[in-house]
Protein backbone atom coordinates (compact mmCIF):
# COMPACT_ATOMS: atom_id res chain seq x y z
CA UNK A 1 0.00 0.00 0.00
CA UNK A 2 1.07 3.58 -0.60
CA UNK A 3 -0.13 6.98 0.53
CA UNK A 4 -1.88 9.26 -1.96
CA UNK A 5 -1.51 13.04 -1.97
CA UNK A 6 -3.76 15.42 -3.88
CA UNK A 7 -3.29 18.92 -5.22
CA UNK A 8 -3.62 21.54 -2.45
CA UNK A 9 -6.99 22.86 -3.59
CA UNK A 10 -7.83 23.94 -0.01
CA UNK A 11 -5.93 24.54 3.25
CA UNK A 12 -7.14 21.21 4.62
CA UNK A 13 -6.17 19.29 1.50
CA UNK A 14 -2.71 20.89 1.40
CA UNK A 15 -1.47 19.09 4.53
CA UNK A 16 -3.41 15.84 4.24
CA UNK A 17 -2.96 12.48 2.57
CA UNK A 18 -5.12 9.38 2.24
CA UNK A 19 -4.63 5.65 2.03
CA UNK A 20 -4.19 4.05 -1.35
CA UNK A 21 -6.85 1.36 -1.55
CA UNK A 22 -5.41 -0.38 -4.62
CA UNK A 23 -4.85 -3.54 -2.56
CA UNK A 24 -8.58 -3.85 -1.76
CA UNK A 25 -10.34 -6.49 -3.87
CA UNK A 26 -13.83 -6.32 -2.32
CA UNK A 27 -15.60 -3.16 -1.19
CA UNK A 28 -18.65 -4.47 0.69
CA UNK A 29 -18.21 -6.67 3.79
CA UNK A 30 -19.56 -10.20 4.16
CA UNK A 31 -23.04 -9.82 5.69
CA UNK A 32 -22.78 -12.97 7.81
CA UNK A 33 -19.62 -11.67 9.53
CA UNK A 34 -20.69 -8.14 10.55
CA UNK A 35 -22.80 -6.61 13.29
CA UNK A 36 -23.81 -3.05 14.07
CA UNK A 37 -21.43 -1.21 16.36
CA UNK A 38 -23.02 0.78 19.19
CA UNK A 39 -21.34 4.07 20.00
CA UNK A 40 -20.57 4.56 23.68
CA UNK A 41 -18.97 8.00 23.31
CA UNK A 42 -16.36 7.23 25.95
CA UNK A 43 -18.91 6.02 28.53
CA UNK A 44 -18.68 2.89 30.66
CA UNK A 45 -21.40 0.35 31.49
CA UNK A 46 -23.18 2.75 33.88
CA UNK A 47 -23.13 5.70 31.48
CA UNK A 48 -20.29 7.62 33.13
CA UNK A 49 -17.76 9.28 30.85
CA UNK A 50 -14.41 7.60 31.46
CA UNK A 51 -12.69 8.88 28.29
CA UNK A 52 -13.26 12.52 27.43
CA UNK A 53 -13.45 14.08 23.98
CA UNK A 54 -15.26 11.22 22.28
CA UNK A 55 -18.49 11.26 20.31
CA UNK A 56 -19.99 11.54 16.85
CA UNK A 57 -18.08 9.99 14.00
CA UNK A 58 -19.08 7.97 10.97
CA UNK A 59 -21.27 4.90 11.40
CA UNK A 60 -19.42 1.64 10.90
CA UNK A 61 -20.05 -2.08 11.04
CA UNK A 62 -17.93 -4.32 13.24
CA UNK A 63 -16.19 -7.14 11.34
CA UNK A 64 -15.83 -10.31 13.41
CA UNK A 65 -12.13 -11.15 13.00
CA UNK A 66 -10.94 -14.60 14.05
CA UNK A 67 -7.88 -13.86 16.20
CA UNK A 68 -7.63 -17.41 17.61
CA UNK A 69 -8.00 -19.52 14.41
CA UNK A 70 -8.83 -22.70 16.37
CA UNK A 71 -10.06 -24.65 13.33
CA UNK A 72 -6.82 -26.57 13.11
CA UNK A 73 -5.44 -28.39 10.08
CA UNK A 74 -8.18 -27.04 7.80
CA UNK A 75 -6.80 -25.22 4.72
CA UNK A 76 -8.32 -21.79 4.20
CA UNK A 77 -8.34 -20.00 0.85
CA UNK A 78 -8.13 -16.22 0.57
CA UNK A 79 -11.29 -15.04 -1.20
CA UNK A 80 -10.78 -11.26 -0.86
CA UNK A 81 -8.71 -8.54 0.81
CA UNK A 82 -10.97 -6.01 2.51
CA UNK A 83 -10.80 -2.68 4.34
CA UNK A 84 -11.70 -2.64 8.04
CA UNK A 85 -12.60 0.78 9.51
CA UNK A 86 -12.00 -0.52 13.04
CA UNK A 87 -8.28 -1.28 12.64
CA UNK A 88 -5.19 -0.32 10.64
CA UNK A 89 -4.28 -3.56 8.82
CA UNK A 90 -6.36 -5.11 6.07
CA UNK A 91 -8.49 -8.17 6.73
CA UNK A 92 -8.74 -11.24 4.54
CA UNK A 93 -11.99 -13.08 3.80
CA UNK A 94 -11.26 -16.80 4.12
CA UNK A 95 -13.26 -19.85 3.04
CA UNK A 96 -12.72 -23.55 3.75
CA UNK A 97 -13.71 -26.53 1.58
CA UNK A 98 -17.17 -26.68 3.24
CA UNK A 99 -17.96 -23.06 2.38
CA UNK A 100 -17.53 -21.67 5.91
CA UNK A 101 -16.26 -18.09 5.84
CA UNK A 102 -14.25 -16.07 8.34
CA UNK A 103 -12.11 -12.96 8.61
CA UNK A 104 -8.44 -12.98 9.64
CA UNK A 105 -5.77 -10.28 9.77
CA UNK A 106 -4.16 -10.08 6.35
CA UNK A 107 -0.43 -10.69 6.00
CA UNK A 108 1.56 -8.12 4.00
CA UNK A 109 2.12 -10.37 0.95
CA UNK A 110 -1.24 -12.16 1.11
CA UNK A 111 -3.26 -12.17 -2.10
CA UNK A 112 -6.44 -13.75 -3.45
CA UNK A 113 -6.05 -17.49 -4.02
CA UNK A 114 -3.43 -18.09 -1.32
CA UNK A 115 -3.98 -21.07 0.97
CA UNK A 116 -3.02 -20.89 4.66
CA UNK A 117 -3.55 -23.21 7.60
CA UNK A 118 -3.52 -23.12 11.39
CA UNK A 119 -2.18 -26.10 13.32
CA UNK A 120 -0.91 -27.16 16.74
CA UNK A 121 1.70 -29.29 15.00
CA UNK A 122 4.80 -28.27 13.07
CA UNK A 123 3.87 -27.10 9.58
CA UNK A 124 5.53 -25.07 6.85
CA UNK A 125 6.58 -21.67 8.20
CA UNK A 126 5.21 -19.65 5.29
CA UNK A 127 3.56 -16.23 5.70
CA UNK A 128 -0.02 -16.55 6.94
CA UNK A 129 0.37 -19.98 8.56
CA UNK A 130 -0.27 -20.16 12.31
CA UNK A 131 1.36 -22.52 14.81
CA UNK A 132 2.88 -22.59 18.33
CA UNK A 133 6.03 -20.53 18.83
CA UNK A 134 8.08 -23.64 19.62
CA UNK A 135 7.70 -24.83 16.00
CA UNK A 136 8.57 -21.52 14.33
CA UNK A 137 12.23 -21.14 13.24
CA UNK A 138 14.25 -18.51 15.11
CA UNK A 139 14.66 -15.01 13.62
CA UNK A 140 11.36 -15.19 11.71
CA UNK A 141 8.80 -12.40 12.05
CA UNK A 142 5.42 -13.18 13.61
CA UNK A 143 2.23 -11.29 14.49
CA UNK A 144 -1.10 -11.79 16.30
CA UNK A 145 0.68 -13.44 19.24
CA UNK A 146 -1.13 -15.06 22.17
CA UNK A 147 -0.24 -14.04 25.72
CA UNK A 148 -1.80 -17.19 27.15
CA UNK A 149 -2.16 -20.47 25.22
CA UNK A 150 -5.64 -20.80 23.72
CA UNK A 151 -6.75 -17.24 24.52
CA UNK A 152 -6.39 -15.89 20.99
CA UNK A 153 -3.98 -13.31 19.58
CA UNK A 154 -3.66 -10.17 21.68
CA UNK A 155 -0.28 -8.65 20.82
CA UNK A 156 1.35 -7.33 17.62
CA UNK A 157 -1.89 -6.54 15.79
CA UNK A 158 -1.16 -3.02 14.46
CA UNK A 159 -0.75 -2.18 10.78
CA UNK A 160 2.68 -3.12 9.44
CA UNK A 161 3.86 -4.54 12.78
CA UNK A 162 5.75 -7.75 13.43
CA UNK A 163 7.71 -9.28 16.29
CA UNK A 164 10.95 -11.19 15.84
CA UNK A 165 11.32 -14.62 17.41
CA UNK A 166 14.73 -14.59 19.09
CA UNK A 167 15.21 -18.01 20.70
CA UNK A 168 13.39 -20.85 22.48
CA UNK A 169 14.77 -21.58 25.96
CA UNK A 170 13.10 -24.07 28.27
CA UNK A 171 9.38 -23.33 28.64
CA UNK A 172 9.55 -19.90 27.02
CA UNK A 173 10.16 -18.16 23.72
CA UNK A 174 11.83 -14.75 23.52
CA UNK A 175 10.22 -12.20 21.23
CA UNK A 176 11.42 -8.72 20.32
CA UNK A 177 8.23 -6.68 20.08
CA UNK A 178 7.70 -3.66 17.78
CA UNK A 179 8.38 -1.39 20.79
CA UNK A 180 11.91 -2.97 21.03
CA UNK A 181 10.88 -4.65 24.29
CA UNK A 182 12.11 -8.23 24.63
CA UNK A 183 9.55 -10.41 26.36
CA UNK A 184 9.00 -14.05 27.30
CA UNK A 185 6.01 -15.99 25.99
CA UNK A 186 5.04 -19.58 26.73
CA UNK A 187 6.30 -21.66 23.83
CA UNK A 188 2.79 -23.16 23.43
CA UNK A 189 1.39 -19.71 22.52
CA UNK A 190 0.21 -19.46 18.91
CA UNK A 191 1.50 -16.88 16.45
CA UNK A 192 1.11 -16.20 12.73
CA UNK A 193 4.20 -16.12 10.53
CA UNK A 194 4.88 -12.92 8.61
CA UNK A 195 4.21 -9.20 8.88
CA UNK A 196 0.89 -7.38 9.04
CA UNK A 197 -0.41 -5.56 5.99
CA UNK A 198 -0.87 -1.83 5.36
CA UNK A 199 2.54 -0.77 6.69
CA UNK A 200 2.14 2.80 5.33
CA UNK A 201 -0.89 3.48 7.52
CA UNK A 202 1.26 5.40 10.03
CA UNK A 203 2.32 7.81 7.26
CA UNK A 204 -1.20 9.12 6.63
CA UNK A 205 -1.56 12.80 7.56
CA UNK A 206 -5.09 13.59 8.63
CA UNK A 207 -4.70 17.24 7.65
CA UNK A 208 -7.70 18.88 9.25
CA UNK A 209 -9.86 18.66 12.35
CA UNK A 210 -12.86 17.46 10.35
CA UNK A 211 -11.23 14.14 9.50
CA UNK A 212 -10.67 13.44 13.19
CA UNK A 213 -14.34 14.23 13.84
CA UNK A 214 -15.24 11.54 11.31
CA UNK A 215 -13.24 9.12 13.46
CA UNK A 216 -15.17 10.08 16.61
CA UNK A 217 -12.69 12.46 18.26
CA UNK A 218 -14.05 15.73 19.66
CA UNK A 219 -12.06 18.93 20.35
CA UNK A 220 -9.69 19.11 23.31
CA UNK A 221 -9.18 22.32 25.31
CA UNK A 222 -6.30 22.72 27.76
CA UNK A 223 -7.08 23.69 31.34
CA UNK A 224 -5.11 26.96 31.26
CA UNK A 225 -7.41 28.20 28.48
CA UNK A 226 -10.48 27.80 30.72
CA UNK A 227 -11.96 30.01 33.41
CA UNK A 228 -11.03 29.44 37.04
CA UNK A 229 -14.45 27.92 37.77
CA UNK A 230 -13.97 25.28 35.09
CA UNK A 231 -10.43 24.05 35.79
CA UNK A 232 -7.74 24.41 38.51
CA UNK A 233 -5.35 25.71 35.82
CA UNK A 234 -7.82 28.32 34.56
CA UNK A 235 -8.08 32.04 35.21
CA UNK A 236 -5.41 34.71 35.38
CA UNK A 237 -4.28 37.22 32.81
CA UNK A 238 -3.34 35.63 29.52
CA UNK A 239 -1.68 32.22 29.62
CA UNK A 240 -0.81 31.98 33.28
CA UNK A 241 1.36 29.14 34.63
CA UNK A 242 -0.52 26.07 35.86
CA UNK A 243 0.74 26.55 39.42
CA UNK A 244 3.90 24.91 40.67
CA UNK A 245 2.92 25.08 44.35
CA UNK A 246 -0.03 22.73 44.11
CA UNK A 247 1.34 20.96 41.09
CA UNK A 248 -0.52 20.02 37.89
CA UNK A 249 -4.12 18.93 38.46
CA UNK A 250 -6.91 17.26 36.55
CA UNK A 251 -10.18 19.02 35.81
CA UNK A 252 -11.48 17.64 39.11
CA UNK A 253 -8.50 18.72 41.22
CA UNK A 254 -6.66 15.40 41.43
CA UNK A 255 -2.86 15.26 40.87
CA UNK A 256 -1.87 14.73 37.23
CA UNK A 257 1.17 14.40 34.96
CA UNK A 258 3.28 11.50 36.17
CA UNK A 259 0.95 10.23 38.88
CA UNK A 260 0.17 6.52 38.81
CA UNK A 261 -3.55 5.98 38.29
CA UNK A 262 -3.76 2.26 37.45
CA UNK A 263 -4.92 -0.12 40.16
CA UNK A 264 -2.35 -2.75 41.19
CA UNK A 265 -3.02 -6.13 39.69
CA UNK A 266 -1.14 -9.29 38.90
CA UNK A 267 1.95 -7.99 37.16
CA UNK A 268 3.48 -9.59 34.09
CA UNK A 269 6.71 -7.61 34.44
CA UNK A 270 8.56 -10.79 35.36
CA UNK A 271 8.30 -11.83 31.70
CA UNK A 272 10.04 -8.68 30.44
CA UNK A 273 13.73 -9.26 29.73
CA UNK A 274 14.57 -5.88 28.23
CA UNK A 275 12.43 -2.73 28.50
CA UNK A 276 11.54 -0.63 25.48
CA UNK A 277 14.03 2.00 24.45
CA UNK A 278 13.15 5.59 25.23
CA UNK A 279 12.27 7.79 22.24
CA UNK A 280 13.30 11.01 24.00
CA UNK A 281 15.82 13.12 22.13
CA UNK A 282 19.15 13.46 23.89
Alpha-carbon span 1 to 197, nearest angstrom: 8
Q: What is the pLDDT of residues 195-251, one digit of tens each?
A: 999 999 999 999 999 999 999 999 999 999 999 999 999 988 888 888 777 889 999
Whole-model pTM: value is 0.89
pLDDT for position 279: 67
The reported pLDDT for the residue numbered 241 is 86
pLDDT at 276: 85
Average pLDDT score over residue span 99-109: 96
Say how far apart CA 69 and CA 88 lie, in whole Å: 20
Q: In degrees, to the nearest 5, what angle opens at C-alpha 10 toward C-alphas 4 and 11?
A: 95
Residue 105 CB contacts under 8 Å (≥ 6 apart), including other chains: 65, 67, 89, 90, 91, 92, 143, 144, 153, 157, 192, 196, 197
Q: What's the mean pLDDT in 24-51?
A: 94
CATH number among 3.40.50.150, 3.30.750.200, 2.40.50.140, 1.10.287.70, domain 3-202: 2.40.50.140
**Per-residue confidence (pLDDT) for residue 154, from 0 to 100:** 95
Q: How confident is the model at residue 1 (pLDDT cuts 50, 70, 90)?
A: low
Q: Where are the domains of the chain?
A: 3-202, 227-261
Answer for the pair 163, 144: CB distance below 8 angstroms, yes or no: no
What CATH fold (topology level) applies to the domain 227-261? Ribosomal protein L2; domain 3 (4.10.950)
Please give the pLDDT value at position 246.
Answer: 81
Buried/exposed 211-241: b ≥16 CB within 10 Å, e otherwise: eeeeebbeeeeebbeeeeeebbbbeeeeeee
pLDDT range class, residue 281, cuts 50, 70, 90: low
The pLDDT-based confidence of 51 (bands split at 50, 70, 90) is very high
For the chain, how far is it from start to end, CA to CA, in angstroms?
33
Q: Phi and psi dihedrals of 212, rounded to 5?
A: -75, -30
Amino acid sequence: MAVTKYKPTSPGRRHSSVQDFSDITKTKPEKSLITTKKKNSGRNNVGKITIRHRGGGTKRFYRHVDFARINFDIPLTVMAIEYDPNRGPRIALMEDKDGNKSYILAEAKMKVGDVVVSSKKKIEAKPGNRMPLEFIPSSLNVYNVEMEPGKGGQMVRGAGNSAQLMVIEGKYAQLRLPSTEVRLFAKECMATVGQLSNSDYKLVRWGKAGRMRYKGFRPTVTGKNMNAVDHPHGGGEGHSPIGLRRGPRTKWGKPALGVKTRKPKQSSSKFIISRRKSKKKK
